[in-house]
Every structure is written in structure tokens, then in C-alpha cells.
């Protein structure tokens, strides 16, 4: 069995070593143009030339949860696209969202500024009931985040494409329930995949529907946010601020106003990192199942784009 690695942004050697150890019967190599046909591939944002040369691949294993870089490419219909299914990402995502939520709710950003100025001052305690958290996307990551937020006793709402039932979460689904979901939400967490339906979904209209003093945590993709709409909403007082991990251009250009805005926290697309050992274990297990014609989780539905 031949497996290729074609991952922009990833150092290949440790991945090759880990997959060779997990599947000693397989030949695992970095793909280069003109290489012979392979059976499977581990990929992150591969070039179209790779897919054009390897139409016989049985499956492409994406080295992340989000497959938006792949769904824009021409991929042979018989090649399955398989996303990472948690693989150690959901707990990291829960950590990230919790820290952003608590930093905002407890005003730790304000305390940091006070302490830096040598000022010993207190802010009035706020009520969790006044900070309902709405999670867009109730998939692998969204549900784990919902569980973590519930542990801290915030009201939690969720929104998904199809109806979901998640214990302790007031669930909404579909376009028809979107505005009601927004109207109940004060802290909005975006954990949607980037698809034709969700691109630009965080915009002036939708963000204006949040409860007064709304706060945005975008940990999904930069393409979800209409970036030019955000600062006017914050500066007018409609929104209290935002924590952003993802951007239309990564890194954002140095002139981008998000870097310097006092109510916006920027992190470098690091909310939930791909963990090598967990990912290779998952991918190797799925390859073994596919070789035995057994079903696997995490196959992307091209008609939905995730
Ligand atoms: P997932 O399991 O596929 O879940 C996606 C959720 O979004 C599902 O609940 C789905 O609804 C919902 N959804 C999709 N399209 C929708 C629409 N048009 N309207 C309403 N809901 C919609 O994905 P995941 O593993 O949780 O990952 C989510 C995203 O997080 C990834 O796609 C990626 O972009 C991002 N991510 C970011 C980082 C980071 O470090 N910042 C790391 C990992 C992932 P259904 O339940 O009805 O299918
Ligand atoms: C990271 O952004 C991922 O999609 O896993």
C-alpha cells in the first residue's frame, strides 16, 4: 500500500515516521510531481496538481477538522475526503473558548490594564444569566465547547443545520431559527465549517441581532466574518468586543486594524492545533478499516461541503 504526504505548513519527516510505525506494511513518502499512483494521502491544502495526478486515491485524510481548503479543489468523485474527527482538538477548543469567555465576562482585560497602571480597583460582579452563550455549529467541537461552557453555569444555546438534541443546550436549527438564536445570545461562538452557506455569516445584520453588549468569539474560519463590519459595531457600542483566532488573510497584514483595536483580542489560528500522535493513530485506524471495507467516521459529504 502506498501513502503520500502532501501537507503545506507541516514538517513531513515526523509524520512519515509516525505513520510508518503505525502501518509498517505501507510505503509512506512525500509526494512529488510524477510520483507513481498511491492508495491514500495525508494532506493539508495540497496543490491541484497533486489531485490531478492522483485521481485513483481511495481517500484523502485532511490534517485538520475544517476541509474548506480541499472542497475548493477538483477531486475525483471516487476519492473520499476524510476530516480529523476530534483527535485531541475538542478539549483545546473548549480551553480556548472558555478562556475568551471568562476573560470577557470577568473583565480580566480591564484588570490587566488597571494592574499595569498600578491601580488597585474592583469591578462590580456580573450575572452569568446576563451572558447567554450561543454556539454556531453543534458538531464535534461545538458540542464539546457547549459542555465546557455549561460546567461554568452560563446559559447555553446552539445552532446547527439539522435539528440536534444536546443535553442542557437550547438547540435551534436552520435558517428559519437563526434570528431567534441570535436574539437570545450575548456571547456568540462561531464553530461552523466554511461553506457556500456560511461564508460571511458574521456580518452587520447578524451581529446587530445579538443582545446588547454582544461579544464575538470566532474560532472557525476568517471567511465567516465580514471583517469590515466588525469595528464599526464595536466602536458604536453595539458590540462589546471580539476574540478572533482566524482571519480572511493569515497572518493579517501589519496595517490591519484588528491588531491594534483595544476591544479585539487576536491569536494566530491556534485555538485547536493538529496533534500528530492522535491524528496518525486515527488515520492509521481508518485506513485499516477502509482496507477491510468497514465504515469510518468523518467522511465529508461533498454536497454539504463539510
Ligand atoms: P463538524 O463536526 O462538521 O460540525 C459542524 C457543525 O456546523 C454541525 O453542527 C453542522 O450542522 C453545523 N453547520 C454546518 N453548516 C451549517 C449551516 N449552513 N447552518 C447551520 N449550521 C451548520 O465540525 P467540527 O469538527 O465541529 O469543526 C468546526 C469547524 O471548526 C471546522 O470546520 C474548522 O473550520 C474550525 N476549526 C478551527 C480550528 C482553530 O484552531 N481555530 C481548529 C479546528 C477546527 P449539522 O449538525 O446539522 O450537520
Ligand atoms: C484547523 O483550523 C482545523 O481545521 O483543524
- CA–CA distances in Å: residue 101 to residues 186, 218, 291: 11, 12, 43
Query: Which triple of cell numbers denotes residue 97?
Result: 473558548
Torsion over CA of 194, 200, 206 and 210, rounded to 10 degrees?
Answer: 60
d(CA 22, CA 284): 6
**Per residue in 261-275, pLDDT tens?**
999 999 999 999 999
Q: Is the pLDDT assigned to residue 98 strictly greater than 90?
A: yes
Question: Is 261 annotated in the active site?
Answer: no
pLDDT of residue 16: 98
Q: What does DSSP say about strands 80-82 and 59-62: parallel, antiparallel, or unpaired?
A: parallel
Is the CB of 87 within 6 Å of ligand 2?
Answer: no
Average pLDDT of every residue of the chain = 98
d(CA 255, CA 121): 34
Q: Is the pLDDT assigned to residue 143 strictly greater than 90?
A: yes
d(CA 169, CA 167): 6
**Per residue in 211-241, pLDDT tens?**
999 999 999 999 999 999 999 999 999 999 9
Is the CB of 199 within 6 Å of ligand 1?
Answer: no
* Prediction pTM value: 0.98
d(CA 135, CA 270): 19
Q: Is the pLDDT assigned to residue 3 strictly greater than 90?
A: yes
Position 282 confidence tier, pLDDT thresholds 50, 70, 90: very high
Query: Which triple of cell numbers denotes residue 256?
Result: 490591519
Q: Is the pLDDT assigned to residue 303 strictly greater than 90?
A: yes
Estimate the crossing angle of helix 276-291 against helix 12-22, to 10 degrees: 50
Pair 247, 270: CB distance under 8 Å? no
> Which residue has 494592574 as its cell numbers?
115
pLDDT of residue 297: 97
d(CA 153, CA 211): 19
Query: Which triple of cell numbers denotes residue 193?
Result: 465549517
pLDDT of residue 9: 85
**Per residue in 60-71, pLDDT tens?**
999 999 999 999
pLDDT of residue 126: 97
Q: Residue 274, Cβ neighbours under 10 Å: how many?
A: 20
Position 8 confidence tier, pLDDT thresholds 50, 70, 90: confident
Residue 181 alpha carbon to ligand 2 centre in Å:
25
Is the CB of 245 within 6 Å of ligand 1?
Answer: yes
Q: Is the pLDDT assigned to residue 24 strictly greater than 90?
A: yes
Query: Which triple of cell numbers denotes residue 216?
Result: 464575538
Q: Is the pLDDT assigned to residue 133 strictly greater than 90?
A: yes
Pair 211, 183: CB distance under 8 Å? yes
> What percentage of residues in the chain have a pLDDT greater than 70?
100
- Ligand 2 atom at shortest distance from the alpha carbon of 246: 2
Starting at the earlier edge strand, list the strands of the sheet with 40-44: 27-30, 2-7, 40-44, 59-62, 80-82
Residues 6+ apart with CB under 8 A from 122: none
Residue to mutate (ligand 1; options 145, 161, 206, 272; most atoms within 8 A of CB): 161
Question: Is 211 annotated in the active site?
Answer: no
Position 288 confidence tier, pLDDT thresholds 50, 70, 90: very high
HEC per residue, 230-251: HHHHHHCCCEEEEEECCCCCCC
Is the CB of 164 within 6 Å of ligand 1?
Answer: yes
Q: Is the pLDDT assigned to residue 130 strictly greater than 90?
A: yes
**Per residue in 155-198, pLDDT tens?**
999 999 999 999 999 999 999 999 999 999 999 999 999 999 99
Amino acid at each position: 500500500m502506498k501513502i503520500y504526504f502532501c501537507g503545506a505548513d507541516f514538517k513531513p519527516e515526523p509524520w512519515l515516521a509516525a505513520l510508518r510505525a503505525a502501518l509498517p506494511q505501507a510505503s509512506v513518502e512525500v509526494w512529488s510531481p510524477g510520483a507513481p499512483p498511491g492508495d491514500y494521502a495525508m494532506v493539508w491544502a495540497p496543490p491541484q496538481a497533486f489531485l490531478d495526478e492522483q485521481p485513483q486515491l481511495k481517500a484523502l485524510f485532511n490534517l485538520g477538522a475544517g476541509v474548506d481548503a480541499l472542497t475548493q479543489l477538483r477531486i475525483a468523485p471516487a476519492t473520499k475526503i476524510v476530516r480529523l474527527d476530534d483527535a485531541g482538538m475538542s478539549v483545546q477548543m473548549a480551553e480556548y473558548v472558555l478562556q475568551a469567555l471568562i476573560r470577557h465576562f470577568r473583565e480580566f482585560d480591564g484588570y490587566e490594564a488597571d494592574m499595569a497602571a498600578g491601580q488597585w480597583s474592583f469591578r462590580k460582579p456580573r450575572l452569568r444569566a446576563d451572558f447567554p452563550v450561543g454556539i454556531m455549529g453543534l458538531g464535534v467541537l461545538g458540542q464539546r465547547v457547549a459542555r465546557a461552557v455549561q460546567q461554568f453555569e452560563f446559559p447555553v444555546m446552539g445552532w446547527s443545520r439539522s435539528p440536534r438534541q444536546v443535553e442542557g443546550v437550547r438547540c435551534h436549527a436552520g435558517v428559519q431559527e437563526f434570528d431567534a438564536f441570535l436574539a437570545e445570545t450575548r456571547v456568540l461562538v462561531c464553530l461552523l465549517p466554511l461553506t457556500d452557506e456560511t461564508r460571511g455569516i458574521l456580518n452587520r445584520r447578524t451581529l446587530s441581532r445579538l443582545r446588547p453588549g454582544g461579544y464575538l468569539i470566532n474560532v472557525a474560519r476568517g471567511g465567516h466574518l465580514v471583517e469590515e463590519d466588525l469595528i464599526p459595531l464595536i466602536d458604536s457600542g453595539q458590540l462589546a468586543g471580539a476574540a478572533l483566532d482566524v482571519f480572511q488573510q493569515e497572518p493579517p497584514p501589519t496595517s490591519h486594524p484588528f491588531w491594534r483595536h483595544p476591544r479585539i483580542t487576536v491569536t494566530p489560528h491556534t485555538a485547536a492545533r493538529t496533534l500528530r500522535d492522535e491524528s496518525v493513530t486515527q488515520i492509521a485506524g481508518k485506513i485499516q478499516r477502509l482496507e477491510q471495507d468497514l465504515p469510518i467516521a468523518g467522511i465529508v459529504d461533498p454536497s454539504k461541503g463539510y
